[in-house]
Amino acid sequence: MKKKRVAILGSTGSIGKQTLDVLSAFKDDFEVIGLAAGSNIQLLVEQVKEHNPRFVSVKDAFLAQELKSILKNPSIEIFWNDVGLEFISSCSCDIVVNGLVGSLGLKPTISALSHGKRVAFANKETLVIAGNLIKDLLRKHHGEIIPLDSEHVAIHQCVNNSSKENIKRIILTASGGPFRTWSKDKIHAATKEQALKHPTWVMGQKITIDSATLMNKGLEIIEAMYLFDVNHSQVDVFIHPQSIMHSAVEFIDGNIIAQLGATDMKLPIQYSLYYPERKQLPFNLFCDLLAIQKLEFEKPDYEKFPCLRLAYDVARKGKSYPIVLNAANEIAVDLFLKEKISFGDIEKIILKAMDSHNATEPESLDEILEVDKETRQRVSELTNSAV
Amino acid sequence: MKKKRVAILGSTGSIGKQTLDVLSAFKDDFEVIGLAAGSNIQLLVEQVKEHNPRFVSVKDAFLAQELKSILKNPSIEIFWNDVGLEFISSCSCDIVVNGLVGSLGLKPTISALSHGKRVAFANKETLVIAGNLIKDLLRKHHGEIIPLDSEHVAIHQCVNNSSKENIKRIILTASGGPFRTWSKDKIHAATKEQALKHPTWVMGQKITIDSATLMNKGLEIIEAMYLFDVNHSQVDVFIHPQSIMHSAVEFIDGNIIAQLGATDMKLPIQYSLYYPERKQLPFNLFCDLLAIQKLEFEKPDYEKFPCLRLAYDVARKGKSYPIVLNAANEIAVDLFLKEKISFGDIEKIILKAMDSHNATEPESLDEILEVDKETRQRVSELTNSAV
């Protein structure tokens, strides 16, 4: 088999690092052709030395210059900023792994899909804000998205090319995050350190905070709607503290098909690289149900986790609301991580942003980015005056 | 769509009755062309009046005469005994539902598959005693088996045409039966009434006793080996008291795909009739995971349930052993149901039959039936002298 060429966006992030771990185990089947990182030059240099990509991109021209002087390798082309990300995502690769966080991943996704690539996709925010645009591109250019979120890769396997008419509903599972058993007051006063302690998954900072508010699950509802062509009333969230059943699909004939597995992103990453083949897992990550003993399921508590309800509202309303939800959440989480607002402020900021928004129906990328930009400005003003 | 024609073997038994319930709900898609029953003429007459089949078969000539005089319908052809079963299973039907119990189902299965039919298959004993023969027929005549056992129909959906090289192992779940939490001594002294109280499923008498000894799970291990082309070391049994996860498949890449659903045979029956399509469930049989709250898993106790270990031994040894296991079990269960032996005697009888057997490698139907007959004679002698 000819080696498949892989480009990674966000190579020094959580998904990027784990993708490189998987690729290191399968050097006969894949080669790394491009790496895009932000500003972690030290790690990027190590990655470049091990995987020898042809194209590398960093956050800005200054970092690009620094990287160049460290690598001293004229056969590696070095890019920077948005242009670099878009170049890497449309380079001569077969698979683009999009491990970027937030709306930063939108343009590179458009670029990869416009070139008909397979995108292994951990960047749910892109689908939340531009789902219809992405679906149009998939139709036009015959690219494909293989989800990397453990939930959506579970659903991908459960659906397994069955027609969407067969799907009664999607059961999206959620660990419940670190605050599942906490009181509402205690949750509101949670510290950054407490919110970053996820009970079952090790992930990047933004998604870990989103998991604590359950906004992550909310964004995943919208992501699932676009990926699997279902409406909001066909996506149910079940709290499942063990995080072993990553999601399930209930079919119209009463059969539920579920995916279970270890809580390690290397499994979805390997799946997305090889799909539709399956390849022997080279890591000791098989899931021992007998050791786990039980799987529990409960209803989510919308009172304690209002972000989940906000996301359902947005999923139902559609229009420009998902863009506002996502932008307000990104800013609020960033402020919380900088310890400028309390945990309880996150939901308040998003709610204010939603309430003061005049809905539109953006179709083009420019219109989407305009709503995104307007929301960020509006939220920044709100928070500057309030915080 | 042209209506599919269905023949049912064992129409007055548990599977047969439920199949007719399903068919009653889908009269636009199916017609009942043949019904084969034993001696429950009263129920058979009701079934004939409702479903108007062209061919009917009963246990013997006397019952056939009785049925004829009740029905007074010259357009219905009436058959009896083995010949009747084989006629019905090879008549002008598209699907044969084999709901027969024990080795009685072997010849009609051969007949149906020799005519390239789809067999909806609840008759695991046939695969246990003649698995290789059945597989040869499937290859030669392009018929197909869609399993009706809840476990195997679960596995069928989890495998979903994936290549067998992708399967690491099958996780066959078992409720544990009515004696899961009992002591070994108490189990040995269990009454017929106690053994017939299955905690989660309503089924026929023989399979209910087999579920109490766990021999049912043992037979299912061997059935799974033939249906899914795996070896005995690739089939693990997990006790799962809730009987909601009906089985699962672990793939080589660490992903486990499981099927969950209500404990009602109408679900597998509907699946087997429509496969590969799925059709809206007309019964209120959706599975509410939130009401069930938890799914538990534990190792089976081979000390308390030696029949399961016996079945694994037989699965490993192969040759004529599965025929002996099955025949001895059928006789022992029959004696227990007639209250001639104790529950604890079942395993002893099977063990004695195995120990005194000289293994052969039967290939033809005649050779298989010869081992079956010889075992039944030998076990009858053993039990007549011992009981």
pLDDT in tens, A307-348: 999 999 999 999 999 999 999 999 999 999 999 999 999 999
ipTM: 0.96
- Maximal CA-CA distance, chain B: 62
CA-based nearest distance B290→chain A, Å: 6
Does B101 or B112 have the greater pLDDT score? B112
pLDDT in tens, B62-85: 999 999 999 999 999 999 999 999
Q: Please name every residue paired with A77 in a beta bridge, in sequence order, or none if there are none.
A: A55
Q: Are B5 and B96 in contact (CB under 8 A)?
A: no
Decide if B349 is inside a domain: no
* Cα B57 to chain centroid, rounded: 20
Q: Provide the whole-model pTM.
A: 0.96
- Among B161, B255, B274, the residue to mutate for chain A (most A Cβ within 10 A): B255
Asked if B206 and B166 sit in the same domain, the reply is yes
Asked if A47 and A110 sit in the same domain, the reply is yes
Residues 6+ apart with CB under 8 A from A353: A324, A325, A327, A328, A375, A378, A379, A382
Asked if A188 and A305 sit in the same domain, the reply is yes
pLDDT in tens, B142-178: 999 999 999 999 999 999 999 999 999 999 999 999 9
Decide if B232 is inside a domain: yes
CA-based nearest distance A290→chain B, Å: 6
Cis peptide before A276 (omega within 30 of 0): yes
3-state helix, strand, coil in chain A (%, to 5): 50, 15, 35
Task: Check which CATH number belongs to the domain holding A29 and give it.
Answer: 3.40.50.720
> Which tokens is A149 given?
């979120």
CA–CA distance, A195 with B309 (Å, rounded to integer): 49
Q: Which amino acid appears at position B302 of this protein?
A: Y
Is B253 close to A279, i.e. CB distance below 8 A? Answer: yes
Is B295 close to A294, i.e. CB distance below 8 A? Answer: yes
Q: Which of A68, A124, A67, A119 is nearest to A94 (CA)?
A: A119
- Among A18, A161, A253, the residue to mutate for chain B (most B Cβ within 10 A): A253
Residue B256 has pLDDT above 80, yes or no: yes
Asked if B116 and B175 sit in the same domain, the reply is no
Degrees, nearest 5: CA angle B180-B182-B183:
125
pLDDT for res B200: 81
Is B298 close to A290, i.e. CB distance below 8 A? Answer: yes
Asked if B134 and B193 sit in the same domain, the reply is no
> Which tokens is A302 given?
């919308």
Q: Are B203 and B155 in contact (CB under 8 A)?
A: no
Distances (CA, A) of B260 to A147, A158, B105: 23, 12, 28
Asked if A83 and A211 sit in the same domain, the reply is no
Q: Which helix (H) or strand (E) holds B324?
A: helix B321-337
> β-strands B95-98, B77-80: how paired?
unpaired
Contacts A245 to B, Cβ<8 Å: 258
pLDDT for res A198: 84
CA-based nearest distance A289→chain B, Å: 7
Is B279 close to A253, i.e. CB distance below 8 A? Answer: yes
Residue of A157, A293, A296 lying closest to B257 (CB–CB): A157
Asked if A114 and A212 sit in the same domain, the reply is no
Contacts A283 to B, Cβ<8 Å: 254
Is A253 close to B260, i.e. CB distance below 8 A? Answer: no
Instruction: Estimate the crossing angle of helix B343-355 against helix B306-317, to 10 degrees.
Output: 20
pLDDT for res A200: 81
CA–CA distance, B332 with B340 (Å, rounded to integer): 9
CA-based nearest distance B164→chain A, Å: 11
Decide if B330 is inside a domain: no
Comparing alpha-carbon positions, the chain B residue that sits nearest to A285 is B254
Asked if A142 and A234 sit in the same domain, the reply is no
Decide if B184 is inside a domain: yes
Residues 6+ apart with CB under 8 A from A286: A262, B168, B250, B254
CA–CA distance, A312 with A354 (Å, rounded to integer): 13
Q: Please name every residue paired with B104 in a beta bridge, in sequence order, or none if there are none.
A: none
CA–CA distance, B85 with B68 (Å, rounded to integer): 17
- Among B289, B292, B296, B299, the residue to mutate for chain A (most A Cβ within 10 A): B289
pLDDT for res A279: 97
CA-based nearest distance B76→chain A, Å: 33
Decide if A277 is inside a domain: no
Contacts B286 to A, Cβ<8 Å: 168, 250, 254
pLDDT for res A202: 79
Contacts B162 to A, Cβ<8 Å: 278
Contacts B171 to A, Cβ<8 Å: 289
B366 three-state secondary structure: helix
3-state helix, strand, coil in chain B (%, to 5): 50, 15, 35
Domain that holds residue B177: 161-263+289-318
- Could you tell me the sign of the dihedral formed by the alpha carbons of B161, B163, B164, B166, in that order? negative
Asked if A124 and A50 sit in the same domain, the reply is yes
Decide if B155 is inside a domain: no
User: Other CB atoms closer than 10 Å to residue B384's CB: what's the count?
Assistant: 8
Contacts B270 to A, Cβ<8 Å: 253-254
CA–CA distance, A103 with A326 (Å, rounded to integer): 8
Asked if B177 and B222 sit in the same domain, the reply is yes
Decide if B370 is inside a domain: no
Instruction: Estimate the crossing angle of helix A343-355 against helix A205-213, to 10 degrees.
Output: 80
Is A287 close to B256, i.e. CB distance below 8 A? Answer: yes
Asked if B182 and B312 sit in the same domain, the reply is yes
Out of B123, B148, B173, a domain closes at: B148
Is B257 close to A296, i.e. CB distance below 8 A? Answer: no
Contacts B280 to A, Cβ<8 Å: 252-253
Question: Which ranges of chain A have pLDDT less than 50?
Answer: 387
Residue B236 has pLDDT above 60, yes or no: yes
Residues 6+ apart with CB under 8 A from B251: A278, B162, B166, B167, B168, B257
Comparing alpha-carbon positions, the chain A residue that sits nearest to B256 is A260
- Among A259, A271, A289, the residue to mutate for chain B (most B Cβ within 10 A): A289
Is B271 close to A252, i.e. CB distance below 8 A? Answer: no
pLDDT for res B103: 83
Residues 6+ apart with CB under 8 A from B250: A286, A287, B167, B168, B169, B170, B171, B256
H-assigned helices in chain A:
14-25, 41-51, 61-71, 81-89, 106-114, 124-141, 150-159, 184-188, 192-195, 205-213, 215-228, 266-274, 289-292, 306-317, 321-337, 343-355, 365-386
Contacts B283 to A, Cβ<8 Å: 254
Degrees, nearest 5: CA angle B66-B72-B76:
90
- Size of the A and B interface in Cβ pairs below 8 Å: 129
Decide if A58 is inside a domain: yes
Domain count, chain B: 2
CA–CA distance, A150 with A370 (Å, rounded to integer): 31
For the CA atoms of B35, B38, B43, B47, the dihedral, rounded to the nearest 10 degrees, stands at 0
Q: Are A221 and A127 in contact (CB under 8 A)?
A: no
Out of A102, A118, A148, a domain closes at: A148
CA–CA distance, A284 with A70 (Å, rounded to integer): 36
Interval B229-255 mean pLDDT: 97
Out of B148, B176, B193, a domain closes at: B148
Asked if A189 and A300 sit in the same domain, the reply is yes
Is B255 close to A258, i.e. CB distance below 8 A? Answer: no
Residue of B162, B254, B261 lying closest to A267 (CB–CB): B254
CA-based nearest distance A149→chain B, Å: 14
Which band of pLDDT confidence, cut at 50, 70 and 90, is reported for residue B102?
Answer: confident
